[in-house]
Structure 1
Amino acid sequence: MGIQATQFHLEPGFDGTLQQQIQQMVSQGILAGRFLPGEKMPSSRELAVRLGISRITVTLAYAELVATEYLVARGRSGYFVSENAPLPPHYTLANTDPAELFDWNKVLGDRYAGHLHLLARPPNWREYEFPFIYGQPDPTLFDHHNWRRCALEAHGLRDFDAVTSDSYEQDDPKLIEYIVRNVLPRRGISAHQDEVLLTLGAQNAIWMCAQLLLSRGRTAVIENPCYPGLREVLQHTNCPVIPIDVDAAGLPPERIPEGAGVVFTTASHQCPTNTTMPMERRQDLLTRSAEKGFVLVEDDYEFEMSFAKQPTPALKSLDRAGSVVYIGSFSKSLFPGLRLGYIVGSPAFIREARGLRSIVMRHPPGSLQRTTAYFLSRGYHDSMLNRVGKAYGRRRAVMDKAIRDCGLEVAGAGAFGGSSFWMKAPEGVNTTELALSLRKQGVLIEPGQAFFDPADGNVQFYRLAYSSIPSARIAEGIERIAAALR
């Protein structure tokens, strides 16, 4: 019995090529048990006419399905479902809903899902005309061609063992070498390979630092406002957390209380105000760390986005006592979905961090490490950063002018560049409500409440990013924000 062409339908929203969609329809039909071994497939001509596509597209899809043993070609007879095709799973669905039999609310310990809405953006945010949202990549600026080349090379036969073997707790030596010899020196940091550990982004690095440093009731000090993910991580350590309000120069060292165990700071590019801590204050902070015995955890995010002027040296580069743990990430300079970052610290700290990581996930995926290593070492990363920096510089200039023309208030300085403005709304404006009303006008902004200590109840600030919006749309978007505020 043959499989009819009428059983195939193209999905308009399919995320892939037509060839891939045909391959998926056939393989899923076989795995679901609808297409049985030995059954004849529609001819390539018949299926092409049915779907309204090119015959060569169907032919290429069938050829790929033959290569993966879902189909077999029999001379002039056509294509058939292979006897060697993967078998559909055999299972019987339960007649009752397990949720009706077991109360998970009684057995769950700590709750982690409550923070997921803090900086939530619509899933279809790219469809909005004015997306002033932070941290999302602009596909027009990314080097797709060379990233694909590096990925293909990383998945070739030469690197097969490196990317497919279980490396246990070890990292890709090519990527570690590039970070030590090229990335860290740009921040003034000198480190050996045993002082660097790869992580699944900065968030994962922050979690590991908290786990290793905040035991036995040690006190954590954080900036206010700060990166919301940091506050959520610390909440689950059950340690005392003291927020300190930042000023125009960042975190005031003199306000760090006695007994502080760990101080988390974004000294070079404060999150979210964009303030850069001056050199005198950095030296004061390091001196107090050495004298008082507290650890400094430096999240050096967005240093690659310093297109306006050269960034100041990292706090870690000035560290003479060895009390600074440095966190870096490729999320902003490459793309956030990569989830690849790194920690730099003393060998003793990195040794324990490596042990902690091995318990949870061993190491980040080898294929991503090797692809990133090639993309960095071949110079593609620096070339792309140069292009991104110029584009961000143009967008920032347009946004700065639009903000001034509309009389909006900028609350944070960004002398080195970055990708956003930290804004302050007039008295009495709730920016969470403002953000919801602006969505109806096609405008997305980030309300600032999530960045502040919950006890503050601060709803007056908001963030405007220009990383995902073209220059031509910025002025009109800012005008709509100003009109809503009026």
Structure 2
Amino acid sequence: MSSTTPRFLQLPETSSLSLRDQICEVVSAAIMSESLASDRPLPSCRELAQQFGVSRNTVFAAYNRLVDLDFLVSRDRSGYFVNPKMAELQKPQGDSDVATRDSVPCPVRFPPNDLMPVVNPLDWNTYPYPFIYNQIDPDLFPVDGWRECTRQALGRKTMPVWASDSVESDSPQLVQQLRQRLLNTRGIYAEEDEILITLGSQNALYILGTIFARSGKPVALEDPGFFGARNAFRMAGTELIGVPIDGDGIVPSAIPAGCQLVFTTPSHQFPTMVTMSQQRREELLEMASTRDFLIIEDDYEAEMNYVAKSSPSMMSMDKTGRVIYVGSLSKTVSPGIRLGFIAAHRDIIRQARIARGVMMRHPPTIVQEIVALFFQLGHYDAHLRNIERRYQKRWHAMDLALSKHLGMLQRTKSEGGTSFWLTGPKGFDASELKVRLQARGVLIDRGQDYYLAYNDSRSFRLGFAYVPVSKLEDGVRIIAEEVRAIL
């Protein structure tokens, strides 16, 4: 087994220790900070002697001293390795005499920005009641089907398909499956050159924000709305204008003149989950034509309807080519797969493809091929039916629990999706509620993060896709106890 000399190992410029002890200090610090791989040999005495400019005997003496101290183990004909016992020790806390990057100030100072980061704890899945956005139940994922698709995609016959660079194109198989199994169900017909594969809807929105930013015209978006879209357009340097929503979705009459793009989530408004009415969709399309702007339709959770049939997509109603359709497989397959797509006029897709190539060339082709097989072999359709059935059961259980325990709060009318939006009376602080609940093992999304100006703290969002049915009411009961305490 070969070793690669870690270039970050450097002797201190000044030290009162002997060379042997300096080497011991540097190597032991690297071990305790987990900077050295435990399954690879350390550099040989000759390699490290050359890097440090010392004799091989000095390095040999240092290594053997570290063996005596249980930092290293020596294996015949293999070299020196980190002692497995080191994995059981905690990293040193507090100040250290060893200089690290954390102690060096950054040479660049960044001005404050208005981007909204993901603020949930990294160990969110260890909480008993994680009612948070964009998490799916891993127990519902068809692992066996995914494994079979991966095995087929990795075969030697298919390797040439995904092993080469394909910056100017996407997987023809995946594009075909999207046309036949996703877009068709939404009433959308698109040619191959009118579809672009992206790394999820977030990447799609950033690409669109980038190619339209040069116009200098503002983007109108729902307020409250999807903070991912807000971040994407802000990163592109675009001026943002918030447009209020009501029980029928975005209010077209509130869209100011001069906008080039209007971003909306008509199937289930993000985050309030209201569904845009047919009349409102027609009104918005008519206004797009008369005022000369484009509509970005993020068809969020269009498949998840439990009370009424899915409403037609706006792109299926569009006769002028003004709707740009954004879709994602995050909620129906998995967020970790990071695949989405844009369907739009071919001239828009042409510009978006160029921008995507500059950003990251193209999404991993191997993942595209696996997902294409996932569709082609019927796993997607079976999986979609399964999660629709499971989420419908959870939606009704959640609806009942909210009516029973949180009737003191206002709740927007919803026909489906995987979350609920609740609002307290004047003076209610959902930020305080979030802190209280986290201490009791309950995670929620606070509503003010979805507002353009962060100026409304009365609302919060409860996502239930990850929480089992058996725990839904208990979690809601805890929320109700803390809400009553605040009220």
Alignment of 1:134 with 2:133, yes or no, is: yes
SS at match of 2:420: strand
Alignment of 1:223 with 2:227, yes or no, is: no
**Partner of residue 463 from structure 2, selected from 462, 465, 482:** 465
* TM-fit CA distance, 1:377: 1.3
Q: Which runs of 5+ in 1 are unaligned?
A: 1-25, 37-78, 83-93
Alignment of 1:179 with 2:178, yes or no, is: yes
Using the alignment, how far apart are the partners of 1:444 and 1:96 within structure 2? 34
> C-alpha offsets along residues 215-271 of structure 1, whole Å, 9 cap, x if unaligned?
232021111100011112222333332111100000111222221211111112110
Partner of 1:256: 255
Using the alignment, how far apart are the partners of 2:472 and 2:39 within structure 1? 47
Output aligned runs, 1:229-248, within 5 Å: 229-248=228-247
Partner of 1:72: none
Tell whether the 8 Å contact from 2:325 to 2:343 is kept in structure 1 after alignment.
yes
**Partner of residue 104 from structure 1, selected from 103, 108, 111:** 108
Using the alignment, how far apart are the partners of 1:95 and 1:233 within structure 2? 37
Using the alignment, how far apart are the partners of 2:160 and 2:113 within structure 1? 37
* TM-fit CA distance, 1:335: 0.8
Partner of 1:115: 116
Partner of 1:149: 148
Alignment of 1:343 with 2:353, yes or no, is: no
Using the alignment, how far apart are the partners of 1:99 and 1:173 within structure 2? 50
Tell whether the 8 Å contact from 1:308 to 1:393 is kept in structure 2 after alignment.
no
Q: CA, structure 1 residues 251+364, in 2 after alignment: closer, same or farther (shift >3 Å)?
A: same
* TM-fit CA distance, 1:451: 0.4
Partner of 2:84: none
Alignment of 1:422 with 2:421, yes or no, is: yes
Q: CA, structure 1 residues 275+220, in 2 after alignment: closer, same or farther (shift >3 Å)?
A: same
SS at match of 1:334: coil
Partner of 1:68: none
SS at match of 2:250: coil
* TM-fit CA distance, 1:322: 0.6
Q: CA, structure 1 residues 476+323, in 2 after alignment: closer, same or farther (shift >3 Å)?
A: same
**Partner of residue 40 from structure 2, selected from 19, 30, 38:** 30
Using the alignment, how far apart are the partners of 1:267 and 1:150 within structure 2? 33
Partner of 1:367: 366
Using the alignment, how far apart are the partners of 1:468 and 1:96 within structure 2? 39
> C-alpha offsets along residues 378-416 of structure 1, whole Å, 9 cap, x if unaligned?
11111111111111111111111111111243432221x
Q: CA, structure 1 residues 34+145, in 2 after alignment: closer, same or farther (shift >3 Å)?
A: farther
Partner of 1:411: 411
* TM-fit CA distance, 1:102: 6.0
Letter in 1 for 2:285: L
Alignment of 1:210 with 2:214, yes or no, is: no
RMSD: 2.6
Tell whether the 8 Å contact from 2:115 to 2:234 is kept in structure 1 after alignment.
no
Using the alignment, how far apart are the partners of 2:413 and 2:459 within structure 1? 14
Tell whether the 8 Å contact from 1:424 to 1:460 is kept in structure 2 after alignment.
yes
Output aligned runs, 1:303-452, within 5 Å: 303-406=302-405, 407-415=407-415, 417-452=416-451
Letter in 2 for 1:295: L
Using the alignment, how far apart are the partners of 1:326 and 1:253 within structure 2? 18
Using the alignment, how far apart are the partners of 2:255 and 2:459 within structure 1? 25
* TM-fit CA distance, 1:214: 2.8
* TM-fit CA distance, 1:28: 4.2
Of 367-376 and 124-133, deviating more is: 124-133
Using the alignment, how far apart are the partners of 1:403 and 1:224 within structure 2? 24
SS at match of 1:328: strand
Tell whether the 8 Å contact from 1:250 to 1:267 is kept in structure 2 after alignment.
yes
Partner of 1:19: none
Count of residues paired in the alignment: 405
Q: CA, structure 1 residues 461+34, in 2 after alignment: closer, same or farther (shift >3 Å)?
A: farther
Identity %: 34
Partner of 1:56: none
Tell whether the 8 Å contact from 1:29 to 1:35 is kept in structure 2 after alignment.
no
**Partner of residue 481 from structure 1, selected from 479, 482, 486:** 479
Using the alignment, how far apart are the partners of 2:45 and 2:374 within structure 1? 42
Using the alignment, how far apart are the partners of 1:299 and 1:29 within structure 2? 45
Letter in 1 for 2:411: A
Tell whether the 8 Å contact from 2:209 to 2:238 is kept in structure 1 after alignment.
no
* TM-fit CA distance, 1:418: 0.7
Letter in 2 for 1:264: F
Using the alignment, how far apart are the partners of 2:101 and 2:133 within structure 1? 40
Runs of 4+ in 1 over 4 A off after TM superposition: 79-82, 94-99, 110-114
Q: CA, structure 1 residues 257+317, in 2 after alignment: closer, same or farther (shift >3 Å)?
A: same
Letter in 2 for 1:478: V
